[in-house]
Structure 1
């Protein structure tokens, strides 16, 4: 069972560029290094990270990653003065976790994000973020980019995020990660709940954006586009593993030897390309603008508007969430409130801002924004 009711010290660590005491007790006194805030000797239940680019190490040691300890939730997307999670603005405050430790990736637009694998150069971090076995953790509000796995072995997956524990990923973007198995996320013997997250420009030999091995993954309101792989274009599940897709788009992922997905997958209220045997799979071009750059926005007339599932409660793989799917307005991304404990389970409320027009409220597929009508 996934629960954040864990016996850890109370408190919060703040991370940003600051000139105070740097003890992490407030924004003015923030720790300047995310790696320092995540060290095992300082396991606070929350870490708030202000906008900026953060790398696992100042050296060129590819084995060093951001490791999230048991019971820790790490939140990005802050300007550096907020007092609550609902005060975040992710689009105005991009918080980038980058594997470009040798500082030579292509960055012509200055955003420090590898929009595609062609932007990745040199010797990058093998895994940008890791979650160890038995850990229960959350990663929320980050852009994870530039992870590269180049050697085979037990850790040859998840260049962006490699998890062997229980991890909730919310409000994130994975771009330009390259792995042998599961370029963006690799789940090995653990459990993943991924909500309101997009994957594009990632490349792998197996399970392009996400590969689950001997574990389970659930994707809700996610968009998986423009990833490349030899086997299992967008999402893969090895023997003994499974993945569930709800209100999720998997489109335009190239695979040389398989369909857009492979393995044991449960698909509901989703749009998965090349899957014709699943009742309720829409299988239509979602009409997404700027998909090649990873900035996902539904065009006017997209068949995905108002095609998502109704209010949904799911208890997949020990997670419990109440998902309330309302209509998106013309400029706002899906927002997630802080999780609450209910009867020993984590309950997460997702709510989109109400539309100003008269369109009926239902659901919308994928992590995309709808243009005004």
Structure 2
């Protein structure tokens, strides 16, 4: 018995060590033309537009793939049916320059890492797309440990056979199973003929955090996403300018459970007969929408913003403002229940909507024309939400700033123990203290040290010229004395 136990322990340890040893960081750099092209270091990184595909093929669970800025393709051939397939346990990270030694050193904003379905490099707006990849990424079968982080995904064109799902999910498709994790990604300019310009999810799932979906076209359903019988989560995401016949941004279909938290929807449009400029809910699906902002979405027919045709959904701590459709910016164009039931509470709704705490008052955005939907410090949406309805674990707003910030100049109108959450995707932050120009040494106290500094420059200019008169004199001394003590 002891020898059997020893053998079992040795075998188990060998397997663990084998798995650990196989895990690696694989490096990719599209611009590299020297080195061994085997991905073992930045010097020998996988090269060219096909470098990411090569790294994915070689990867195993536990690997990380570090991808330098540049443009990559699912294939360097002209085959539209070759895709970048995510793998369980493999993290794919963009935003590197090609010299980093730590994941935290990358910056996907300043180092754009692009995956494009434009295989021939001949796209011109909506022209010359018929030779593009049907999908850029496939996440089917990949669990949450499959990570895509820090990429721009563009140029997918799913116009193929329905039976092969080649008419869905031009950016990413997740079908049958799987629930990958997508973070810090920008899906833009992907198009399909059936549904889900940016992504299509069927009988599977997915989590999308800090992503942007812009100018995707969903054909019949879901300009950004078409979800069918899935559980999907969207947090701190932005949906702008996406279009489909039904559901300009997200379609939640087939008993789907869709969670939307801290998101912004603006300028999305439904151009067909069934409406839902931002979100369409149907066939017993349930949308849970919290602390999100919907502005200037539109529909040709029903509901410029959200329509629920079947199932029970809820909207809390949100702003639905000036979405338009037939009849203009009416209440019905903010939310329409047409067979489904959507409860709305503690939200700002143009035209009003029945529900506890709802208001129809201008939320006072900082600059709506430029889509800056942060709240002015006099906004009635500040400290006006329901704390208990904020999802567990949600501690920041869409920008990553803290939630639950008390603005002392605003009367609390929400429910819960202060500080109370704001309505919408943005939490108003405590303004910085006013400047203290008399604090010449920057220690937050106007004292003898500042007076000594001023006197040392007396009669001259520069430091200590507090009234910008060009001369340090009695007027500046008066400012010092009036400000004496701690800065406030």
- Fold match by TM threshold 0.5: yes
Distance 1:121 1:309 in 2: 47
The question of 1:282 aligning with 2:319 is answered yes
The question of 1:139 aligning with 2:156 is answered no
Mapped contact 2:264–2:293 kept (Cα < 8 A): yes
The question of 1:15 aligning with 2:25 is answered no
2:181 is aligned to 168
Q: Rate the CA distance shift 1:366–1:56 in 2: closer, same or farther, 3 A.
A: farther
Q: Rate the CA distance shift 1:363–1:103 in 2: closer, same or farther, 3 A.
A: farther
2:212 is aligned to 198
Deviates more, 1:209-218 or 1:358-367: 358-367
State the shift of 1:175 in Å.
0.5
CA deviation string 1:224-246 (max 9, x = no partner):
11111011111011112121100
State the shift of 1:281 in Å.
2.1
Give the alignment's TM-score, normalised by structure 1. Answer: 0.74
Higher strand share: 1
State the shift of 1:364 in Å.
9.6
The question of 1:153 aligning with 2:152 is answered no
Distance 2:381 2:107 in 1: 23
Distance 2:380 2:234 in 1: 17
Deviates more, 1:147-156 or 1:63-72: 147-156
Note the residue ranges of structure 1 that are not aligned, 5 or more in a row.
1-6, 107-116, 292-296, 316-321, 329-333, 335-350, 353-357
Higher helix share: 2
Mapped contact 2:68–2:98 kept (Cα < 8 A): yes
Q: Rate the CA distance shift 1:49–1:134 in 2: closer, same or farther, 3 A.
A: closer
State the shift of 1:214 in Å.
1.7
Q: Rate the CA distance shift 1:84–1:159 in 2: closer, same or farther, 3 A.
A: same
1:130 is aligned to 138
Note the residue ranges of structure 2 that are not aligned, 5 or more in a row.
1-18, 296-304, 308-313, 323-364, 403-407, 410-418, 433-488
Which of the two has higher C-alpha Rg? 2
**Structure 1 vs Structure 2 CA RMSD:** 3.6
The higher relative CO (CA closer than 8 Å, separation ≥ 6) is in 1
Mapped contact 1:326–1:361 kept (Cα < 8 A): no
The count of corresponding residues between Structure 1 and Structure 2 is 319
Distance 2:203 2:94 in 1: 26
